[in-house]
Amino acid sequence: MAQLNIEQASVGYDVQGIQEFLNNLNLNVIDALTQKINDSMSTLREATDEVWVGQAADAFKAKLERDSRTMIETLNGIEDDVRGQFAQIAKNVDNYDQALADDISSME
Amino acid sequence: MSIKNLAGNVVSNVRHTLEGGIQGISARLQNLLGGATANLQTLWDGGFVGINENPETLVNALTTYINELQQIVDGFKEDAVIEGALQGDAKVAAQQYVKAIKSLLDAYTTTYKSFIDLLENKAVVSMKSGDVENAQSIMSDAQDIIQDANNIRID
């Protein structure tokens, strides 16, 4: 049987390819960004303490923490959303594919 | 009904489902990103009381941090991955997610780049040295920029 690929398809997805895309997105971008943000907070606080003291400095450090939490929470939300959406797309395609197969079988 | 017609119906139904999914994705992403980007783009207006005349350490640390974040996103060669795995509306969906992440990062780094600009404009140095009039002029200009930026809608 000839090797199948989706390059000539107008609508479709490759299960393994989707998984690879999601893994790449997760590991190489979302996880990497989250790790970098978490790892950098102490460095940025120390850099702030080296050159800045007082209430304004404390307020700036609080902003750093707040912004880092916003970033991480939003990135995690994006990841959850993309996984959920592709799971739903895959499920719908599988359902229609099965319906087509059932219809074809009934015609034979 | 011919098999060709049946196949056509499947494609039509799948496309309708994918289009519905894409619309949902866009709306959900908009909700997810809307509040986050608004908060992240609030520029610093807390003043610089107590800061050294030469805050180079902080400038360098922030610059390095922003550049490292940008490198992570720039290094993600999503086009090659998407091209081989997805077609049609599913490809569009994947590209939307990547765009959402890049937009989020832009909102985050813009804030701190602007903060670095304020430090490097020596507004802090002027205040520390007692050059009050010059410092007030610089800070007034900075506040105008901050206000204009905060008024910009994020699409």
Of residues A49 and B90, more confidence is placed in A49
Q: Is the pLDDT of residue B103 over 80?
A: yes
Query: What is residue B11's predicted lDDT score, i.e. its pLDDT?
Result: 52
Tens of pLDDT, residues A50-107: 999 999 999 999 999 999 999 999 999 888 887 777 777 777 667 766 776 777 777 7
CB atoms closer than 10 angstroms to residue A73: 13
In a domain, A56, yes or no: yes
Residue type, A65: E
pLDDT of residue B86: 66
Residue A53 inside a domain? The answer is yes
**pLDDT at position B150:** 62
Q: For the segment A38-47, what is each residue's pLDDT rounded down to a tens digit?
A: 999 999 999 9
Helical spans, DSSP H, in chain A: 15-24, 32-51, 55-107
Q: How confident is the model over B20-63, as pLDDT tens digits? A: 555 556 677 888 888 888 888 877 878 888 888 889 999 999 99
- Chain B segment 116-145 residues within 8 A of A by beta carbon are none
On whether residue A92 sits in a domain, the answer given is: yes
Q: Is the CB of residue A18 less than 8 Å away from at least one CB of chain B?
A: yes
User: Which pLDDT does position A59 carry in this prediction?
Assistant: 93
- The per-residue pLDDT for range B115-145, each reduced to its tens digit, is 998 888 755 554 554 555 555 555 566 566 6
Could you report the per-residue pLDDT of B51-99, keeping only the tens digit for each?
Answer: 888 899 999 999 999 999 999 888 776 666 666 666 666 677 777 788 8
Confidence of residue B147 (pLDDT cuts 50, 70, 90): low
B16 touches chain A (CB under 8 A): no
- What value of ipTM does the predicted structure carry? 0.77
DSSP string, A32-47: HHHHHHHHHHHHHHHH
* Overall domain count for chain A: 1
Question: In Å, how far is B113's CA from the nearest CA of chain A?
Answer: 13
Residue A89 resides in a domain: yes
Q: Is position A13 within any domain?
A: no
Give the structural domain span for A37: 22-107
Set of chain A residues whose Cβ sits within 8 Å of the Cβ of B72: 28-29, 32-33, 36
Per-residue pLDDT tens for A6-22? 554 545 556 676 777 77
| Residue A84 lies inside a defined structural domain of this protein | yes
> Does some domain include residue A3?
no
- Residue A15 inside a domain? The answer is no
Q: Which residues lie across from A52 on neighbouring strands?
A: B51
Give pLDDT, residue A4: 47
B1 pLDDT higher than 70: no
